[in-house]
Structure 1
């Protein structure tokens, strides 16, 4: 099945993405063709487009790693889904074939892509990057299940697992941070402290259950957290701001003798964090996580049930919706903190 469609393509770092027509290759074994309904936008795409990951040897290429859509065609050996199924697309590997990247055609040029892209009207996707859409989950909200939710909520549910009465701080209230905050409501935490520099996000955090918010542009968040916890620091600190200094702050705000700092952010390539080793031998722990330790087949259905029960008010994350032609504006808004999680409407008619 030959399909041509519009896609956002990155040709040069620090330059706008180009909307152009590309042609999908024939499906290989383990691949499927999906017609996209919606895509989310993650800071990872800002990093890619703005050169934050260093030199890019795959240019030109397509972007996007969380979305929703409908399966149009399946390749040989695909058993996880069938034609007509509604699916979530995400970067975290699940069950099924793990195929190589895809090479699309745009005239005489080759456009590279990984195992999943979502800034496009159609996508050739590896079987292990899709999960059947759970019943009762809207197609727009579903994009959050491709990245923000399994990472943010996964940190709390799969890694921290806070005990009753625990204290917890979240540094950075983007999609991952807000997802983590929502997941905290599933546990009997004594304090849930939200840290950011944007008043609108701090207001949202209060509405979503934070017991205290800290504007880090006004006061030192580490000193304030120590004051709030009797000088001890929090049991758990979660960092998702994407800045090395904030990872360091989150670690400093974690208590000694068993406290855990978990970070999921991706600072610019080449940057390093500096930690006091004495704090480590005093029992503080720091841990990075790959996707919140989530397993799509297990965790997406669990999180969908929490959404259906009203325990995850995910709609609050979408502060603005964009068309595919507005992808560069969406990236700019996310980079400059004018949007929590941009939602790209590719074909909202898909249900």
Structure 2
């Protein structure tokens, strides 16, 4: 069996689209026809060589998507042929098969437990979550990373309470997901911070009560005015910048304010922290995919979407073909897109 795939051969060079041959399935692996794949900022950092040395070149990419199971390896119990599934880098139940190798025209191409920038992917059982027939695959693709991380921070990590105040630095896919969830939890003050007006407008459409353009406004001054000088209850950093991470910590109230750092800095870059902020009672946390349990949380997000409480369709700003993967990464890098998806043009859509 063959598949088209986008392959990273060299850091900071364009991905190459080529035909790969799929190997025989190992026990615990599944072949998925990938309908849609999300384009995530961490994938951009990886392609641009900003995550440090890459020992697995050449390799496939992508870690968020949705599709249909086409073949099941021995021992797999979680899904069966024909199931619709969400593909996520976050581990759920089932066999954990960490890697596979495809065959390309230039030799072996490595792949991890999940890759989604292809037409057909070999996926580890524990990176799949079945979803109902009624869930559109385009929107379901966001349930692999953007929603579990962004909404998961709000619901699982922070456990935001009704009536509280939240500031979100960076309203790309993760940040917009956090805005959606904060609105769902009835936070009173939901402040979006970014440098692009079109992203801020999208955040307001998804529930942000206020928007701050960090290029044209003094963020600290506006936050002080909005909170009466007290600071916010919760801060989420999803921009992946040193300045916004430090600002997120500074923006929460003391004592009791909690800042979560979700963005990815380039490898080797560090932030500064005033220990007196901790002595005053501010708290700082990291997050691993919004502390998501895919088997528990993805069905919950499906239910919220189908009840109209989680308008995922409003998050998707652009769609690209697999052949245009480098344009998608470039547009993400320049800030033109919020959450973009890669569409499998050969996929026979049986929805909508």
Q: Is contact 1:141-1:314 (8 Å) kept?
A: yes
Q: Which residue of 1 aligns with 2:246?
A: 248
Q: Which one of the candidate residues 131, 134, 149 is aligned to 2:132? A: 134
Post-superposition Cα deviations, 1:82-110, rounded to whole Å, max 9, x if no partner, equal: 11111111100000000121111113511
More deviation, 155-164/144-153:
155-164
More deviation, 114-123/158-167:
158-167
Distance in 2 of aligned mates of 1:101 and 1:263: 29
Unpaired runs of at least 5, structure 1: none
Q: Which one of the candidate residues 302, 317, 328 is aligned to 1:304? A: 302
Q: Which one of the candidate residues 290, 293, 296 is aligned to 1:292? A: 290
Normalized against structure 2, the TM-score is what?
Answer: 0.97
Distance in 2 of aligned mates of 1:174 and 1:193: 14
Q: Is contact 2:258-2:282 (8 Å) kept?
A: yes
Distance in 2 of aligned mates of 1:261 and 1:288: 9
Aligned residues: 349
Q: Which residue of 2 aligns with 1:55?
A: 53
Change (3 A) 1:277 1:323: same
Q: Is contact 1:69-1:350 (8 Å) kept?
A: no
Shift of 1:263: 1.5
Q: Is contact 1:54-1:269 (8 Å) kept?
A: yes
Post-superposition Cα deviations, 1:111-144, rounded to whole Å, max 9, x if no partner, equal: 0010000000111110000100234310100100
Q: Which residue of 1 aligns with 2:213?
A: 215
Q: Is contact 2:28-2:76 (8 Å) kept?
A: yes
Shift of 1:165: 2.0
Shift of 1:37: 0.9
Unpaired runs of at least 5, structure 2: none
Shift of 1:348: 4.2
Distance in 2 of aligned mates of 1:312 and 1:10: 34
Normalized against structure 1, the TM-score is what?
Answer: 0.97
User: What pairs with 1:270-289 in structure 2 (closer than 5 Å)?
Assistant: 270-289=268-287
Shift of 1:223: 2.5
Q: Which residue of 1 aligns with 2:229?
A: 231
Distance in 2 of aligned mates of 1:64 and 1:80: 22
Asked whether 1:30 is paired with 2:45, we answer: no
Q: Which residue of 2 aligns with 1:102?
A: 100
Q: Which residue of 2 aligns with 1:174?
A: 172
